[in-house]
Structure 1
């Protein structure tokens, strides 16, 4: 696993969902704050996204927008004003009546809307530092992988073909990866695009994430990154904000929490996978980090996911 894959896996729960929306004329719909991430892709026309507490964002055909922290927002045909927000219809209550006798018009707006359910109890800092709104404007030649995923997803939703119940969730997962990748490759202001662009720190992180159970030492990790131990300590700590061994401890416990949440593996098996010699050693470190035993954490996670 790489850092981005692990960061997403640590917070993602359940199945993503999506739907297509077509509106025309004067319209306005509100999406309440959500314990997850939401996204919109404009397939045709243009509209405005009005995030709670943020500046309006103009969206055009081909634009994609990710709301990684589930920020409440309004989608509308015009910029924000008190009247616009007041007349917003809840997204769940919008008119979805099919009108086959009404052919698509030039003023139509078509959008692909969806959301991901996330468990933020142990979010990786890469995910935590994403801005409230990630706007990815459509430009010719930009984000080709993202565009391909959007096209494939749109086709699957247009006609439910054999296998679509597997294809759609997989494409939604792919869409999330590509949206975050596109943010990282653009003018991202967060620290982690720089972390992963640094060859020394990136090499160390790849090694730690590829095999967290290895009995890593600073010397061994420095050799893996091809630098001296002082150089690794300086580069890694300066960019990541914690020393290599402190990050490894944090990641091992975060991975243990993910396995407790997502699998039925025994504590002994999880301890072996994340680099702890005994279940007792893992349980002691886990309780110190999370304030709960692994058993109680697993029970609470099950209750939270099924709620």
Structure 2
């Protein structure tokens, strides 16, 4: 029941990119507060995350650092080092970036991966992510994540035939493993939110049905039956954990589905309406404008324009 994969696919905007960054002391890199989430992995040496407020966070070899979209941050060898804005040299057709900062001191190598997300209507899961997720290198912890990091690092260090094709799914896997690790670490520490929703059998079953068949005329009772709990228990639990009632989330996901179809396909408006759970184009257009502020046809033209 890959609800997490659905969410990331729905929110994706453009291609992700990855690069090996080599910096010689003294150095610092300023990452802007854009609609990109970043994963940084220390491959050699060490550095620190310098937040806007609070104490620096020291990072060692093997540490994984995730920074959520909309949160600018600074990586540096130490506080007070000169800063360079993150502007990687990148071919628009390539996933691979390069950034090197020369200097007289010791070198630090980083693997940096960035993901762009649609910031018009971010999924509540992404909105709930903390500004920073730090996964320290610990033997026996998150082995699949460590293997993915090693594979990406190897492809970037020695590009050869098939590197671009191999990197694309590995980059997606990296983000999924980081978020899975965060979800696992939240277990038992909170009773609400998407980290709970994705580990609650009843709720994730209902989410799976909504995501797979948004066009179906779901009722709370039908979703509760599929989840194996009473209607009252399901409605209360879903609302408390997800943050909105089941049918309100269904409407939200239908509109998200419609926006993806409008932007990424040439499907006619009646087809988009039907696949989004609306029996008429008029009802769909009215609902879409209520959510996005503009009619679906104009949304398509704006989002598909170069």
Instruction: Name the TM-score, length of structure 2 as normaliser.
Output: 0.88
Residue 164 of structure 2: aligned partner: 165
Shift in alpha-carbon separation, 1:218–1:95, aligned structure 2, 3 A: closer
Question: Once the two structures are superposed, what CA deviation does each residue of 1:44-87 show, in whole Å capped at 9, x if it has no partner?
Answer: 12110113345422111111111121422221111x3xx43xx2
Question: C-alpha displacement at 1:95, in angstroms?
Answer: 7.1
Q: Output the CA distance in 1 between the equivalents of 2:55 and 2:292.
A: 36
Question: How do residues 170-181 of structure 1 correspond to structure 2 at under 5 angstroms?
Answer: 170-181=169-180
Residue 43 of structure 2: aligned partner: 43
- Are the aligned partners of 1:10 and 1:123 in contact in 2 as well (CA < 8 Å)? no
Structure 1 residues 221-230 or 182-191, which shifts more?
Answer: 182-191
Question: C-alpha displacement at 1:202, in angstroms?
Answer: 1.7
Residue 32 of structure 1: aligned partner: 32
- Are the aligned partners of 2:24 and 2:101 in contact in 1 as well (CA < 8 Å)? no
Residue 102 of structure 1: aligned partner: none
- Are the aligned partners of 1:2 and 1:209 in contact in 2 as well (CA < 8 Å)? no
Residue 77 of structure 1: aligned partner: 77
Q: Output the CA distance in 2 between the equivalents of 1:162 and 1:38.
A: 26
**In the alignment, does 2:201 pair up with 1:199?**
yes
Question: C-alpha displacement at 1:211, in angstroms?
Answer: 1.4
- Are the aligned partners of 1:51 and 1:71 in contact in 2 as well (CA < 8 Å)? no
Q: Output the CA distance in 2 between the equivalents of 1:267 and 1:26.
A: 56
Q: Output the CA distance in 2 between the equivalents of 1:211 and 1:291.
A: 25
**In the alignment, does 2:151 pair up with 1:147?**
no
Q: Output the CA distance in 2 between the equivalents of 1:70 and 1:235.
A: 30
Residue 134 of structure 2: aligned partner: 135
Residue 110 of structure 1: aligned partner: 109
Q: Output the CA distance in 2 between the equivalents of 1:126 and 1:133.
A: 15
Unaligned runs of 5+ in 2: 89-97
**In the alignment, does 2:256 pair up with 1:250?**
no
Question: C-alpha displacement at 1:156, in angstroms?
Answer: 0.9
Of 234, 238, 249, which residue of structure 2 is paired with 1:232? Answer: 234
Question: C-alpha displacement at 1:125, in angstroms?
Answer: 0.6
**In the alignment, does 2:119 pair up with 1:120?**
yes
Q: Output the CA distance in 2 between the equivalents of 1:175 and 1:96.
A: 23
Q: Output the CA distance in 2 between the equivalents of 1:51 and 1:300.
A: 36
Q: Output the CA distance in 2 between the equivalents of 1:159 and 1:44.
A: 16
Question: C-alpha displacement at 1:225, in angstroms?
Answer: 0.8
Q: Output the CA distance in 1 between the equivalents of 2:301 and 2:115.
A: 22
- Are the aligned partners of 1:261 and 1:298 in contact in 2 as well (CA < 8 Å)? yes
Instruction: Name the TM-score, length of structure 1 as normaliser.
Output: 0.88
**Count of residues in correspondence between the two structures:** 294
Q: Output the CA distance in 1 between the equivalents of 2:133 and 2:216.
A: 36
- Are the aligned partners of 1:200 and 1:235 in contact in 2 as well (CA < 8 Å)? no
Question: C-alpha displacement at 1:88, in angstroms?
Answer: 1.0
Question: C-alpha displacement at 1:113, in angstroms?
Answer: 1.2
Of 60, 63, 83, which residue of structure 2 is paired with 1:88? Answer: 83
Q: Output the CA distance in 2 between the equivalents of 1:34 and 1:54.
A: 21
Q: What secondary structure is seen at the aligned counterpart in 1 of 2:49?
A: strand
Q: Output the CA distance in 2 between the equivalents of 1:250 and 1:97.
A: 44
Question: C-alpha displacement at 1:162, in angstroms?
Answer: 1.2
Structure number having the greater helix percentage: 1
Where do 4+ consecutive residues of structure 1 move more than 6 Å?
none
Question: C-alpha displacement at 1:152, in angstroms?
Answer: 0.8
Q: Output the CA distance in 1 between the equivalents of 2:193 and 2:220.
A: 23
Question: C-alpha displacement at 1:97, in angstroms?
Answer: 7.9
Q: Output the CA distance in 2 between the equivalents of 1:95 and 1:117.
A: 19
- Are the aligned partners of 1:52 and 1:71 in contact in 2 as well (CA < 8 Å)? no
